[in-house]
Amino acid sequence: MTEPYPPIEPYDRGMLDVGDGNLVYWEVCGNPHGKPALVVHGGPGSGCTERARRNFDPARYRIVLFDQRGCGRSTPHVADPTTDLRANTTAHLVADMERLRTHLGIDRWLLFGGSWGSTLILAYAEQHPARVSEIVIPSVTTSRRREIDWLYRGAGRFFPEQWQRFREGVPAAERDGDLLTAYAALMADPDPAVRERAAARWCAWEDTVLSLEPHGAPDVYGGRPWAARQALVRICAHYFSHGAWLEEGALLRDAGRLAGIPGVLVHGRLDLSTPLETAWELARAWPGAELTVIDDAGHKGSAATRDVVIGALDRFAGAAGA
């Protein structure tokens, strides 16, 4: 079993002005002369974590992490319901990543991230393939509307009682309509009690979908601190109620643009949140990608998932790309 690398602290950090009144937090750790790698967190709205740094050999990588607009240490924070989300879209985040690359003087970088992070990685790489050396994705999603509908409606066939509670978290008149838009409205309500009830229902549902997995904490969503939970739910509802502003199926359709970029996809067979089908489709559409299916893992991963991820990052550490 591969152990994570020891904890490390950033040697540089800052707040990048990306326009629209937003400042994006970034940090760099590891070897200042190492191979550049960007960690793209999930959620959307989860923020970067210290744990993500430990997938990389700090002697060989220059590891860049950032908090996407509105979450983590970026400002303004969307836990404040007055924070405007109109300038927080997938296109804005792709532009922020490119602005950060330029700011740090990086020519090409490896991209690492899963879940929502994989959607953002694919959107960036298909737009800027010349700036990407390799990609490593645990837990693949492309945020198609069919994937979003599965997570927030279709998976309810496995957990009908819990999905009913999720559905009943919005006003009665909206329960047979667009639940995500209804939740987005609740998360912008000026009453903190309304926002907290909505966030609690949302996180309870997300945790339920992952509850059959044999590994990982039982409260990945609900156990977050108040502000982090508020930001996660508000940004998720905002993005997914708009289909992440992506043409349906575009990331799979345009995966040929990734030809020449080595990719490692790692996906748990037990993942009810983002079923294996999407990872399989992406591996078939992306020339040069390799898919490893972990039989004992779901969305939260396992020791076997970590073995493959760290193995891939160690392998790519010696490849040209700085």
E strand segments, the chain:
12-19, 22-30, 35-39, 61-66, 109-112, 132-138, 263-268, 289-294
| Burial of residue 14, with CB atoms counted within 10 A of its CB: 0-12 exposed, 13-18 middle, 19 or more buried | middle
Beta carbons of 116 and 141 less than 8 angstroms apart: yes
Spatial separation of the C-alpha atoms in residues 269 and 259, rounded to whole Å: 26
As annotated, the active-site residues are 115, 271, 299
| Amino acid at the residue 56 | F
8 Å CB contact between 37 and 108:
no
- Tell me the C-alpha distance between 118 and 272, whole Å: 17
**Amino acid identity, position 237:** A
Cα separation of 275 and 168, whole Å?
A: 25
For 230-281, the three-class secondary structure string (H helix, E strand, C coil) is HHHHHHHHHHHCCHHHCCCCHHHHCHHHHCCCCEEEEEECCCCCCCCHHHHH
Q: Which of 195, 231, 197, 40 is nearest to 120 (CA)?
A: 40
